[in-house]
């Protein structure tokens, strides 16, 4: 991990760089994949699955019976843990429901807003070396609560051509309606464009590697929406002299093990703790099954120390972390000054792992600094708001003249006439 001691504001841009390739460099490949899927549909998916996943598939849809049968392959302790997480995620996202807003803005003018579900959503679930069944919970549960009619899931195939039983079990538990063994940019293309077997969706959700992120952004230029540009995982841990080095090391490694392009950042006002923490990282790293991946991620990671808490907080907002752990004695100044973060974990006993799995908050969050302008996935992500208005005679007479004046000022006589005719009809 590279150290930075009291970097000046002019250096922050360089310090905050993520270890990711630019999406522009990937767009030609992504465009080629989209063009092929658009032209030949399932045939392109067959070819790309063989090329990228080394799996020879002629059918991508997982039969419904194999989805429900996956339960028998899940150990009971894991089923119970998933059930507990399911309840907490359901409770938190159900509480995000809002009542319709109805306002009489002036006598005779009624305005209201209603939220309706997006009808068909696509969920991308990363597979590979760590099938993320927890992401199924994070996406399918709010989709179900929102009332989405069709929930279509894509996840990369294992070498046997199917999807990990944990993902299939979680999908069955959460009400996923269709599931396909598709990964990478080709899965995003299939969801965005539709093929003979994969339905075109209205909005695509889910994290992935840089090609998946690039594919989602490319897809959003067409007729499909996306949740956010969610790329490689990251965590920023803020500590003071009170922090337990073992806790800090564990939190940093919990994100480093996600992938070699993950980034972990330690921000401290107590530089005397750094050596202890680095020793703990070395000890804990040796015990991790994914130690090679975590070690690679640590090469791109950073330790940033500041003399003043205020500067540390300002830097953290500049970085805009996906996950932000506040492990200090006095959490108040850190918490009240949060401006840019995907999800915040407060106090020494709040590991980021809780949010990843079971506390109830969503773990699909903006990365790569996008927390400055994007929210994490929530119930609203699966809904759209429609506004209504109804005007009676009192309303057209009291507000109509103002609308006529404004329309005339913009030179839009047709707009003015639509009001004038109604006013004359009431004379």
What is the pLDDT at residue 159? 87
Neighbouring CB atoms inside 10 A of 375's CB total 15
Three-class SS of residue 172? Answer: helix
What is the pLDDT at residue 383? 98
Q: Which residues contact 102 (CB under 8 A, 6 or more apart)?
A: 110, 111, 112
Give the span between the Cα atoms of 137 and 122, in whole angstroms: 14
Report yes or no: 212 and 185 within 8 Å, Cβ to Cβ. yes
Give the span between the Cα atoms of 73 and 95, in whole angstroms: 32
Least confident span in 90-99, 229-238, 263-272, 415-424: 229-238
Report yes or no: 173 and 79 within 8 Å, Cβ to Cβ. no
Three-class SS of residue 418? Answer: helix
What is the pLDDT at residue 231? 75
In this structure, the dihedral spanned by the alpha carbons of residues 267, 268, 269 and 273, taken in order and rounded to 10 degrees, is -170
Q: Is 405 exposed, middle or buried (0-12, 13-18, 19+ CB in 10 A)?
A: exposed
Least confident span in 151-165, 312-326, 413-427: 151-165
| Whole-number Cα distances in Å, 295 to 127, 254, 258, 259, 410 | 21, 12, 11, 10, 61
User: Phi and psi for 300 in degrees, rounded to 5?
Assistant: -100, 10
What is the pLDDT at residue 161? 87
Give the span between the Cα atoms of 255 and 267, in whole angstroms: 15
Q: What is the mean pLDDT of the chain?
A: 95
Q: Please indicate whether residue 299 is annotated as part of the active site.
A: no
Catalogue all structural domains in the chain, each as residue range(s) with its CATH number: 2-20+232-360 (3.40.50.1980), 23-70+96-228 (3.40.50.1980), 393-425 (no CATH)
Active-site residue, from 172, 258, 323, 363: 323
DSSP E strand stretches across 193-338: 203-205, 225-226, 234-239, 263-268, 302-305, 323-327
Q: Please indicate whether residue 340 is annotated as part of the active site.
A: no
What's this model's pTM, rounded to 2 decimal places? 0.94
Active-site residue, from 172, 322, 352, 363: 322
pLDDT in tens, 270-302: 999 999 999 999 999 999 999 999 999 999 899
Three-class SS of residue 184? Answer: helix
Torsional sign, CA 290, 293, 295, 298: negative
Average pLDDT value for residue range 140-157: 98
Least confident span in 21-25, 207-211, 244-248, 338-342: 21-25
| Whole-number Cα distances in Å, 407 to 164, 411, 415 | 59, 6, 6
Number of H helices, E strands in the chain: 17, 14
Is the model's pLDDT at 149 over the cut of 90? yes
DSSP 128-170: TTS--HHHHHHHHHHHHHHT-SEEEEEE---TTSS--HHHHHH
Q: Which residues contact 91 (CB under 8 A, 6 or more apart)?
A: 360
What is the pLDDT at residue 18? 85
User: Which of 356, 324, 329 lies closest to 340, judged by CA?
Assistant: 324
Sheet containing 101-106: order of strands: 101-106, 109-117, 383-391
Give the span between the Cα atoms of 96 and 379, in whole angstroms: 6
Residues constituting the chain:
427
What is the pLDDT at residue 210? 84
Task: For the chain, give the percent of residues with pLDDT over 90.
Answer: 86
Give the span between the Cα atoms of 3 and 78, in whole angstroms: 39
Is the model's pLDDT at 22 over the cut of 90? no
Is the model's pLDDT at 21 over the cut of 70? no
Is the model's pLDDT at 388 over the cut of 90? yes
Is the model's pLDDT at 128 over the cut of 70? no
Is the model's pLDDT at 378 over the cut of 70? yes
Give the span between the Cα atoms of 263 and 255, in whole angstroms: 7
């Amino acid at each position: 991990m590279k150290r930075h001691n009291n970097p000046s504001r002019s250096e922050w841009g360089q310090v905050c760089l993520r270890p990711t390739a630019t999406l522009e460099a990937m767009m030609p490949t992504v465009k080629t994949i989209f063009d092929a899927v658009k032209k030949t549909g399932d045939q392109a998916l067959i070819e790309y699955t063989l090329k990228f996943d080394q799996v020879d598939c002629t059918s991508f849809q997982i039969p419904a019976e194999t989805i429900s049968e996956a339960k028998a392959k899940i150990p009971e302790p894991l089923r119970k843990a998933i059930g507990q997480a399911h309840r907490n995620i359901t409770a938190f996202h159900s509480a995000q429901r809002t009542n319709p807003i109805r306002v009489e803005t002036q006598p005779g003018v009624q305005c209201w807003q209603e939220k309706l579900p997006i009808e068909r959503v696509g969920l991308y679930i990363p597979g590979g070396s760590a099938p993320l069944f927890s992401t199924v919970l994070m996406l399918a549960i709010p989709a179900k609560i929102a009332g989405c009619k069709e929930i279509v899931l894509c996840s990369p195939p294992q070498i046997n051509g199917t999807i990990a039983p944990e993902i299939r079990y979680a999908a069955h538990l959460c009400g996923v309606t269709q599931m396909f063994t598709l990964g990478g940019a080709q899965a995003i293309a299939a969801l965005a464009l539709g093929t003979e077997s994969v339905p075109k969706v209205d909005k695509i959700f889910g994290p992935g590697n840089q090609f998946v992120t690039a594919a989602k952004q490319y897809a959003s230029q067409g007729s499909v929406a996306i949740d956010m540009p969610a790329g490689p995982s990251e965590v920023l841990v803020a500590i003071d002299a009170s922090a337990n080095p073992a806790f800090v090391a564990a939190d940093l490694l919990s994100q480093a093990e996600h992938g070699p392009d993950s980034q972990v950042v330690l921000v401290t006002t107590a530089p005397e703790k750094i050596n202890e923490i680095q020793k703990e990282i070395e000890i804990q790293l040796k015990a991790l099954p994914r130690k090679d991946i975590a070690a690679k991620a640590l090469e791109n990671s950073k330790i940033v120390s500041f003399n003043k808490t205020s500067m540390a907080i300002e830097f953290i907002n500049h970085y805009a972390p996906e996950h932000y752990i506040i492990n200090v004695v006095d959490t108040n100044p850190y918490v009240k000054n949060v401006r840019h973060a995907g999800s915040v974990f407060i106090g020494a006993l709040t590991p980021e792992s809780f949010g990843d799995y079971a506390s109830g908050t969503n773990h699909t969050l903006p990365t790569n600094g996008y927390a400055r302008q994007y929210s994490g996935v929530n119930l609203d992500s699966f809904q759209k708001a429609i506004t209504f208005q109804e005007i009676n005679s009192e309303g057209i007479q009291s507000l109509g003249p103002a609308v006529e004046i404004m329309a005339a000022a913009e030179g839009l006589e047709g707009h003015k006439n639509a009001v004038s005719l109604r006013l004359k009809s009431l004379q």
